[in-house]
Amino acid sequence: MQNDLNNNLEQDLRISKTRIKQEMYALQKIGERLIKLNPKQLAKFCLPETLKDAIIEANQIRKHEARRRQIQFVGKLMREVDVGPIQKRLSTWDGVSLQHIAWIHLVERWRNYLLKDKHAFAEFGRQYPTADLQRIRTLTRNAHKESLSKKSLKSFRALFHELQTSIPETSEQNEQSRYTNEF
């Protein structure tokens, strides 16, 4: 009985070669993401000098095979580093950029909605009471005229910028879920 327990524990402690390779490949992928960062972003990480130097060198290498070997070397050096804080910061940066993209899409949807529907101003005014509705209405009217006369889209772009100042970036998730089907 005791012998069976020891065998089971040994089997649990042994990690398969496939799992080890997957973990090393994951570290290499994190290293590749670090290589893509600019020097200012890279400086925000507390990395050993050897790893920083390897990342900087990988940025300078242009030949495919040499770059691939350098990326593998960065992955090897990543094994000596606590990857948790690195992953957390990269995930935070990804989340912020995805959040910003969602906000930009929300602004674009509002612009299209305002250009298509006359009743959209009332809804926009209820959602964003601090917005300059008179300016938005004027820009919308001018954007319609520009599109009919095939002139430059100056008012179309100005409307977008005005909406960006009116719609706070933090509220995009609430608005997006509420008005996704309406636009």
Mean predicted confidence (pLDDT) in 172-176: 43
At 174 the pLDDT is: 43
CATH (domain of 22): 1.10.60.30
- Which of residues 34, 59, 81 is at a domain's end? 81
- Which of residues 57, 81, 105 is at a domain's end? 81
- The number of distinct structural domains making up the chain is 2
Question: Using an 8 Å Cβ cutoff, are 97 and 146 in contact?
Answer: no
Q: 89-131 pLDDT, tens per residue?
A: 888 777 766 788 888 899 999 999 999 988 898 999 999 999 9
Give CA–CA dist 67/70, Å, rounded: 5
- Which of residues 48, 81, 114 is at a domain's end? 81
- Tokens linked to 93: 């940066």
Lowest-confidence pick of 35-49, 61-75, 165-179:
165-179
Q: Which domain covers residue 108, as residue numbers?
A: 94-179
At 66 the pLDDT is: 94
Residue 86 within a domain: no
Checking if the pLDDT of 175 tops 80, the result is no
At 173 the pLDDT is: 43
- Tokens linked to 84: 């948790």
Task: Give the residue from 112, 120, 122 showing the smallest Cα distance to 156.
Answer: 112
Residue 89 within a domain: no
Distances from the Cα of 183 to the Cα of 65, 116, 126, angstroms: 48, 10, 16
Could you tell me where the DSSP H helices lie in 49-117? 49-60, 64-78, 84-116
Burial per residue of 147-172, b for 16 or more beta-carbon CB atoms within 10 angstroms, e otherwise: eeeeeeeebbebbbebbeebbeeeeb
Checking if the pLDDT of 176 tops 60, the result is no
* Mean pLDDT value across the chain: 83
Give CA–CA dist 156/69, Å, rounded: 49
Q: 152-161 pLDDT, tens per residue?
A: 889 889 999 9
Same domain for 111 and 58, yes or no, is no
Checking if the pLDDT of 20 tops 70, the result is yes
> How large a percentage of the chain has pLDDT more than 70?
84
Give CA–CA dist 133/74, Å, rounded: 54
Checking if the pLDDT of 182 tops 60, the result is no
Tell the burial category of 12 from Cβ atoms under 10 Å away from its Cβ (0-12, 13-18, 19+).
exposed
Please, what sign has the CA dihedral across residues 76, 78, 81, 82?
negative
Q: 32-65 pLDDT, tens per residue?
A: 999 998 888 888 888 899 999 999 999 999 999 9
Residue 88 within a domain: no
Same domain for 122 and 75, yes or no, is no
